[in-house]
Structure 1
Amino acid sequence: MTRPVAAPFRASFPVRSIEDVKRLEQTPLAEALTVRSTYEIFRNSAAAFGDRTALTFLRTGDPADAPIRWSYAQLLAGIHQTANLLHRLGVGPQDAVAILLPGCLEYHLALWGGAAAGIAQPLNPLLTEEKLAALMTAGRAKVLIAYGTECDAGLWSKALRLRTQVPTLTTVLRVAPHDEAPGSAGTLPEGVADFDALRACEADDHLVSGRDIAPEDIAAYFHTGGTTGAPKLARHSHGAQVFSAFACVKMTGVGPDDTSINGYPLFHVAGVLPASLASLSAGVNMVIPTPTLLRNKQVMANYWRLVETYRATSLSAVPTVLAALANVPLDGADIRSIRYCRTGAAVLPPELAARFERLFGLHVHESLGMTEMAGISTITPPGVIGPPGCVGFRLPYSQIRIVALDANGNASDRELPPGEQGMVLFKSPNLFSGFVDPADTAKAFTADGWLATGDLGWLDGEERLHLSGRSKDLIIRSGHNIDPKAIEDALGAHPAVQLCAAVGQPDAYAGELPVAFATLAPGMQATEAELLAFTAARVDEAPAKPKSVVVIDHMPVTNVGKIYKPALRALAARRVVEALVEEAWAGLDLGPAARPAVQPEGENALRIVIDAAAAGPAAQALQERLSESIGRLPFKTAVVLQ
């Protein structure tokens, strides 16, 4: 059944307060939102905007280079062709279409055509082949759409090897790089086909399947990390994704006069839903800054010139990218077109917020988004000025609660009043449909059906949400909960600090002690002792004063730019273990060859290796000393003789 074309999403009025959010809710959701699927969004946008530019792909980071542009009509035609090709390859509503692509125009055909035919499964190209195979197997992927070159992640080699590792996979579709000469790919292996050549043979004006997509049908599987442990695939319904786009447009007011530069990776909900689907539902011109996006050094170096060239009206990036942009001088670039600057994924450091406003005249508006809520949970709209850590208002038609933590750091059933910090809980039309594994789903919700986010925060008198961190990142010192944000805000205020993070370092007596790690801004210098004294003087609570500040060359980040604290916790643990090893080794007056080696044992453990031949008769004593001292630490460490 073909549903009638409807109007694209557009703002009703500027949202400036919770009263405006409640005013939106005066219209029942069933009347306010009649679009049932992401496919309908693109039909509506193509009807409304036709030849207007939907996607602008930058071949390089040079503002003078001519881009490749697709109109809204071309985008819909490509989505039809892709969905019809996948249908011909046997993809049905329950089959996954895995996507292994960098930033490119075809990503949007794979995402939205994949969701129109089956279930789109975007994958992080930087994951190991083993992780990719596990994720595709868990999602029962039937087709893989992959980039036909190595890029910086060995994409095509991975794709070819994955053919034999995923039992349900029947076809690999090769996407040719934009600069590849026709015919240069040569003969493709059996089971591999040219994506563009095959889709060119398909109808571009309708879905051949005749599928009537329901709001509860699953549109996509998103993995919630994939860097450690077993894969967790979150199931997004069409209705949830549509609501996210609808709510973003209502809250931010984006429309056909806007241009955005979307540097978020498209395997992540932030890049796909708030940044892409919301924009494309409202007629925005969305710029894709080269295949490597904001990891492209030329793009970063020329970012402000790109804003000037394309008259970008919004800037959106995670805090670590904003920190890097703060080091890129304007050099006369005219960025007055930017009307809205926003961030998410991690709490914005106050000093970075102040630096951005001081350097560029841009106030950074924060939002909260998560995979389990189809990419967006709260928004600070344009014109609403909040302090760092304020992530704005709940979405219309959604609910939010703050509850106390129980003894294990989980959500209790005791609701807290405004101003008191606890765990953030949500109910909303864009809640995900659970994980592929029902056991993971059970852990995500409270007994009475609220999503337990794991985020710590509080509501102010204007019903804006303020975040302070993650419950799992709390540093617990002798039973005392320490919020790492207090340390990070203090250290981040030092003018030499670029990025910083505080974590718990294992301790034999206190369980954990607070320590901090920092990177320095280019051209700046500061000693660790100076940074420690600076931070300690600004942290009021005695137990929260850090025991050390360590300067590192590069801050570990995830593939979407969040600071990766597990790596810092492992580094802190290793420093403690190495100090104990040094003490035990020196105490036995052994030669350098007998110094034990400290090696990683996975991500959450260490291994101390003693060379028995080098240590000689003292090897046993050294092992016993180390086993005794290391055994007191709340960190898994094995001591072995070799």
Structure 2
Amino acid sequence: MATTPAQQLLPRLHPPFTRSAPIRSLQDVQQLEARPLAEALPVQSTYEIFLNAAAAFGDKTALTFLPTADPAAEPIRWSYAQLLTGIHQTANLLHHMGVGPQDAVAVLLPGCLEYHLALWGGEAAGIVQPLNPMLTDEKIAAMMTLAGARVLIAYGGEGDVGYWSKALRLRALVPTLTTVLRVAPHTEAPGVAGPLPAGVVDLAERHQHPGDHLVSGRRIASTDIAAYFHTGGTTGAPKLARHSHGAQVFTAWGSVQMQGITPQDVGINGYPLFHVAGVLPGSLAALSAGVETIIPTTGLFRNREVIANYWRLVERYRCTYLSAVPTVLAALANVPLNGADISTLRYCRTGAAILAPELAARFERLFGLHIHESLGMTEMAGISTITPPGVNAPAGCVGWRLPYTQLRVVALDAQGNASDQDLPPGQPGMVLFQSPNLFSGFLDAADTARAFTPDGWLATGDLGFVDDQGRLHLSGRSKDLIIRSGHNIDPKVIEDALGAHPAVQLAAAVGAPDAYAGELPVVYATLVPGAQAVTEAELLTFTAERVDEAVARPRWVQVLETMPVTNVGKIYKPELRQRAACHTVQALVDGVCAAEAAGQPRPQVQPEGDNAVRVTVPPGAQADALAARLREVLAPLPLTVRITTAPAAGSPQTA
């Protein structure tokens, strides 16, 4: 059969990604490496991934959008063929607007089907720039200006963060911006929006463009830049990391190899799509292998109803895998099954933060699901190591490196940076990587230089060790970032804000444990001797006014007589974290006692090592019942809490 001119423009098709063999050891990973990478992975671009998937899977469901969290509600589904058509149309609309391979297309959307048109159509036409909508206008505008964004694809509704109002304000703040593409909310009736302002175009106009090929005729090389991902926003000035098409393709392929993803799999992707975890290992890997990916409402996992109905959604859609950050897993641990059949789940994976052993044990006890951990980062296109299905590792073990990657653990130098001294298995140090999915550097060359060692290895900032099986275990972070629901918060942002108060001498921010968010930012201060009297409430207000990102605003300020310091005079944050943990536990203990043990002596809360607290329940008739209730209330916290009862005579006994 003769090919059409449009078909002649398409790259050569390849089979969708499939696993070569189950991964159960480092030797299995090494076996894959016996074949040259170019032969194992001939696909050059994310665009090719969708060509291959559409050819292989056609009318099979690729994306399922849930308008509400009600399992009985009717979903909206797109097939692989429909998705590819939409990608072509979106890329061609962008090309018509003047977007070329070097131009950035910014995206400001909630969870929706159109996000995937923006991502993959944007990468086929130019360079996509997903944005965190919770950042301030000024930070978003600065990132768009740095990227030279020509087009902004934005949600036409307000949602919970004021999407459309923010998009309209950005028009005046970004000099390079020429066009805003409006995505109509799925509930909006045709014509309701009325005439759009000059410079604003409805994304629905994509239907006027071809859906079977790229009009530009572009041939995308693996080294072409596909996306700019920002590394934060709450961590001071965001940095824009450049991802090549080849890096993103490798992440998808490597994820399929390590996890054994198949067309029979179904998964709920509740990660935000401005984050690498949701876009690459969460979406691209699944779509490269024929998986049905479910988008759980525009609010994703931030929608409390999605969490409340999660197990019923798993049953309704026969999900085969679960992927979520530890804070979401902690929230799910509080949701009873209530008879929901989750027997289809074969794999549960987490990342973004070290998994608390107590949460891992609780999840397995409640649901029979072992949590497999992974390590991912923006600088490695979202994934670095994975613990595969069938390999049950202890909490903190993030698995084996991906095939064709290299991993080192080196000693820290005197400044806490990576040295050139490699460490043997079992010894913790700084984790370094080289890999095919390594990012192409930041837009700022100085940021790029700081990210690498002198000999070209990515310095992750993570501390860990390799065990005798070649698996990586994480033991902490070299920097004291506060991780709140996947948001990395730089303590310095808070410390600088509070430190600007004339009465404050020293300020130190740490993360206090929280059952839902993992960590919440809190801050300690010492006052200038003789300073004018100031209350902690006043200091909190002062700080909040100067921290522009809501997630980074501290929950409380506590004034100390003296700040704990090391022998060389550095603020000793481990002690402050212990204080914060005790403060959190004490507040919960007081709440339980006020409700259930009025008039009884209050339990004592004391630190018990790193990330551990002991609660001693005083003797009395209600001691056992109170201990049981405290154990229930404190269990969701991401720290070790040991509850003991103190008999009237003798030593305490564990409750």
> Could you state the TM-score of these two structures normalised by the residue count of structure 2?
0.77
Q: Is the 8 A contact 2:409 2:431 kept in 1?
A: yes
Shift of 1:473: 2.3
Shift of 1:416: 0.6
Aligned to 2:643: none
Mapping of residues 33-182 of structure 1, within 5 Å: 33-182=41-190
Give the Cα separation in 2 of the matches to 1:386 and 1:104.
35
Match of 1:195 among 159, 179, 203: 203
Give the Cα separation in 2 of the matches to 1:166 and 1:458.
44
Shift of 1:499: 4.9
Shift of 1:298: 1.3
Give the Cα separation in 1 of the matches to 2:43 and 2:80.
18
Q: Is the 8 A contact 2:10 2:213 kept in 1?
A: no
Aligned to 1:552: none
Q: Is the 8 A contact 1:121 1:220 kept in 2?
A: yes
Give the Cα separation in 1 of the matches to 2:17 and 2:140.
35
Aligned to 2:365: 358
Q: Which amino acid is the alignment partner of residue 71 of structure 1?
A: S
Q: Is the 8 A contact 2:122 2:128 kept in 1?
A: yes
Partner-residue secondary structure (3-state), 1:172 = strand
Shift of 1:474: 9.3
Give the Cα separation in 2 of the matches to 1:42 and 1:249.
15
Aligned to 1:231: 238
Match of 2:473 among 456, 466, 474: 466
Partner-residue secondary structure (3-state), 2:216 = coil
Partner-residue secondary structure (3-state), 1:200 = helix
Tell me whether 1:317 sits opposite 2:377 in the alignment. no
Give the Cα separation in 1 of the matches to 2:132 and 2:91.
22
Give the Cα separation in 1 of the matches to 2:129 and 2:295.
20
Q: Is the 8 A contact 2:461 2:478 kept in 1?
A: yes
Shift of 1:342: 0.6
Match of 2:464 among 457, 468, 482: 457
Give the Cα separation in 1 of the matches to 2:517 and 2:104.
41
Shift of 1:283: 0.1
Aligned to 1:273: 280
Partner-residue secondary structure (3-state), 1:305 = helix
Shift of 1:299: 1.0
Q: Is the 8 A contact 2:326 2:518 kept in 1?
A: no
Partner-residue secondary structure (3-state), 2:116 = helix
Shift of 1:503: 9.2
Aligned to 2:446: 439
Mapping of residues 505-516 of structure 1, within 5 Å: 507=563, 509-510=565-566, 511-513=571-573, 514=575, 515-516=577-578
Shift of 1:546: 8.3
Q: Which amino acid is the alignment partner of residue 223 of structure 1?
A: H
Distance 1:504 1:428, change over 3 A: farther
Q: Which amino acid is the alignment partner of residue 416 of structure 2?
A: G
Q: Which amino acid is the alignment partner of residue 291 of structure 1?
A: T
Give the Cα separation in 2 of the matches to 1:165 and 1:300.
36
Tell me whether 1:209 sits opposite 2:216 in the alignment. yes
Aligned to 1:585: none
Partner-residue secondary structure (3-state), 2:87 = helix
Shift of 1:164: 1.2
Distance 1:319 1:71, change over 3 A: same
Distance 1:504 1:143, change over 3 A: closer
Q: Is the 8 A contact 2:18 2:257 kept in 1?
A: yes
Shift of 1:62: 0.1
Q: Which amino acid is the alignment partner of residue 341 of structure 1?
A: C
Paired-residue identity, %: 69
Stretch deviating more after TM superposition (357-366 or 293-302): 293-302
Q: Is the 8 A contact 1:404 1:411 kept in 2?
A: yes
Shift of 1:228: 3.9
Q: Is the 8 A contact 1:58 1:290 kept in 2?
A: yes
Give the Cα separation in 1 of the matches to 2:522 and 2:186.
43
Q: Which amino acid is the alignment partner of residue 436 of structure 1?
A: L
Shift of 1:27: 0.8
Shift of 1:389: 0.2
Distance 1:472 1:416, change over 3 A: same
Shift of 1:129: 0.8
Aligned to 2:398: 391
Partner-residue secondary structure (3-state), 2:175 = coil
Q: Deviations over 1:184-238 (max 9, x none)?
A: 0011110001111x10100000000000000000000000002242231000000
Aligned-pair Cα RMSD in Å? 2.7
Q: Is the 8 A contact 2:331 2:516 kept in 1?
A: no
Give the Cα separation in 1 of the matches to 2:47 and 2:140.
27
Q: Deviations over 1:103-147 (max 9, x none)?
A: 000000000000000000000111111111011001110000000
Mapping of residues 197-596 of structure 1, within 5 Å: 198-473=205-480, 499=518, 507=563, 509-510=565-566, 511-513=571-573, 514=575, 515-516=577-578, 517-518=580-581, 525=592, 532-533=605-606, 535-536=607-608
Distance 1:231 1:502, change over 3 A: closer
Q: Is the 8 A contact 1:473 1:503 kept in 2?
A: no
Give the Cα separation in 1 of the matches to 2:344 and 2:21.
21
Q: Is the 8 A contact 1:55 1:286 kept in 2?
A: yes
Q: Deviations over 1:314-348 (max 9, x none)?
A: 00000011000000010000000100001000000
Aligned to 2:26: 18
Give the Cα separation in 2 of the matches to 1:441 and 1:461.
33
Q: Is the 8 A contact 1:49 1:72 kept in 2?
A: yes
Distance 1:162 1:380, change over 3 A: same
Q: Is the 8 A contact 1:341 1:364 kept in 2?
A: yes
Q: Deviations over 1:352-382 (max 9, x none)?
A: 0000000000000000000000000000000
Give the Cα separation in 2 of the matches to 1:40 and 1:353.
38
Q: Is the 8 A contact 1:390 1:466 kept in 2?
A: yes
Partner-residue secondary structure (3-state), 2:459 = strand
Aligned to 1:27: 35
Q: Which amino acid is the alignment partner of residue 392 of structure 2?
A: I
Q: Is the 8 A contact 2:263 2:291 kept in 1?
A: yes
Q: Is the 8 A contact 1:505 1:512 kept in 2?
A: no
In the alignment, structure 2 segments of 5+ residues that lack a partner are: 1-8, 483-509, 526-562, 595-600, 617-636, 639-655
Distance 1:413 1:207, change over 3 A: same
Q: Is the 8 A contact 2:407 2:433 kept in 1?
A: yes
